[in-house]
């Protein structure tokens, strides 16, 4: 199982929710911004990680193929 940093998106979402609440002084906007940003940031980080892992796997396969052909 791979280590993921996507759960840090929840913390960043919480911070953005606090910032939205502090700026607008509206609790509903703060909560909505916190939840929405946490979900969006989680998805973004996870997709970046998946892309990196796929690229690493492709590089590994290519290097293995090159070494077996020698």
Each residue's pLDDT tens digit, 28-61: 999 999 999 999 999 999 999 999 999 999 999 9
67: confidence class by pLDDT, cuts 50, 70, 90: confident
Instruction: For residues 61 and 70, give the distance between their C-alpha atoms in angstroms, rounded to a whole number.
Output: 15
Question: 5: closest CA among 40, 60, 48, 57?
Answer: 48
What average pLDDT does the segment 5-10 reach?
A: 90
Question: 32: closest CA among 16, 9, 43?
Answer: 16
Asked whether residue 70 carries a pLDDT value surpassing 80, the answer given is: no
In this prediction the pTM is: 0.80
Q: So what's the pLDDT on residue 3?
A: 83
Compute CA 2 distance to the chain's CA centroid, rounded to the nearest angstrom. 14
């Amino acid at each position: 199982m791979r280590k993921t940093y996507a759960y840090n998106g929840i913390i960043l979402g919480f911070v953005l929710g606090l910032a939205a609440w502090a700026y607008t002084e509206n609790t509903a906007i703060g909560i909505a911004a916190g939840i929405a940003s946490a979900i969006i940031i989680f998805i973004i980080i996870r997709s970046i990680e998946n892309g990196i892992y796929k690229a690493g796997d492709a590089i590994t396969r290519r290097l293995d193929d090159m070494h077996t052909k020698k």
